Amino acid sequence: MVYRWRNLTRVALALACIVFFAGCSTQTTQSTTKLPFKAVTPSPTSINTLVPTATLGPLAARVNGEGILLSEFEAGLKQYQAAQDEAGIKSSPGDQQKVVLDDLVDQLLMAQAAREGGYKIDDTAIQTRLDQLVNQAGGAAALTDWQNKNGYTDESFRAALVRSMAMAWERDQILASVPVMADQVHARQIMVTSETRANQIYQELQSGADFATIAKQYDPLTGGDLGWFPRGYLTQVEVEDAAFSLEPGKFSQVIHSKIGFHIIQVIEHDLKHPLSPDALQKAQHQALLDWLKNRRAQAQIEILVK
């Protein structure tokens, strides 16, 4: 249905570290590969008491006093530009820089929140994750080649790995907090592109015509069935508002949207109905966006690159 939510998230940042690091597996391996850096154990802290992170290189940004390495930003920018070139997408250098920096800031905000929430990491956990990456890459040499090819130093690779593990933990906490049940309606619709025809159909319905029969004429495949949906799910807000304003069995007046003219009939209404996988995914996506928006509003963010 064109009226249902499409999983159109913002353009995903093509930083390989997001896919490479954040998809953490629970399986462990018996690799003897050792870390090229010394692991650290961050402790829970308050967002207001974070102190600047000691680094061995210049910074691209600071978030609540914690630094994002310039080398990591440059590696991410290189990957993002390569991904855009491959996809045939063109954007200005300033826009590319903003996308990469925004993504790195979001990752660090989530990692900071994870530490505040009690998330801890030690040498063993980092070693386990590194062993997984070695296996996924096809060996230690392959992982080193990937690191060098994508512009990561040992320090920036370490920073991305540790942060991504904390970020994935916090992401899972946010997604898990979204209720799996919600106030929902089950509705069907008749949609046409002609206002005149829509008004004629509305008159027929008022005269006693069967809604389901007419809906089947205009949508033989589904009979106009929109299924169950919560608020904020349909792309046509006018249709959704009308559906939630109706009692079961009732139908709406003609509704004009950007894609046509609709008449809605509510079949059922349940205050606590299980969300479909697609609706739950949208709710989780929105919860993550809202979380980041609120977190950014409270954060001290310094951009140090021009």
Which of the 8 DSSP states describes residue 6?
Answer: P
* pLDDT band of 49, cuts 50, 70, 90: very low
Do both 41 and 127 map to the same domain? yes
| CATH assignment at residue 157 | 1.10.4030.10
Do both 141 and 196 map to the same domain? no
Residue type, 91: S
Do both 92 and 190 map to the same domain? no
Q: Which domain holds residue 71?
A: 16-177+285-303
Do both 106 and 199 map to the same domain? no
For residue 11, pLDDT beyond 50: no
Which H or E element spans position 175?
helix 154-176
Count CB atoms within 10 A of the CB of residue 176: 10
Do both 98 and 198 map to the same domain? no
Determine which of 140-154, 182-196, 232-246 has the lowest per-residue pLDDT on average.
140-154
Q: Note the pLDDT tens digit of each residue in 283-300.
A: 999 999 999 999 999 999
Do both 39 and 158 map to the same domain? yes
* pLDDT band of 56, cuts 50, 70, 90: low
Do both 242 and 263 map to the same domain? yes
d(CA 190, CA 173): 40
Contact 127, 38 (CB under 8 A): no
| CATH assignment at residue 218 | 3.10.50.40
How many structural domains is the chain composed of?
Answer: 2
Q: What is the pTM of this model?
A: 0.75
Is residue 7 in some structural domain? Answer: no
Is residue 85 in some structural domain? Answer: yes
Is residue 82 in some structural domain? Answer: yes
Strand order in the sheet with 66-69: 66-69, 59-63, 301-303
Q: Note the pLDDT tens digit of each residue in 248-259.
A: 999 999 999 999
Is residue 9 in some structural domain? Answer: no
Chain Cα centroid distance, residue 25: 19
Do both 67 and 96 map to the same domain? yes
Do both 92 and 142 map to the same domain? yes
Q: Note the pLDDT tens digit of each residue in 88-117.
A: 998 999 999 999 999 999 999 999 999 999
d(CA 22, CA 108): 13
List Cα–Cα distances, 119 to 62, 111, 115, 122, in angstroms: 21, 9, 5, 10
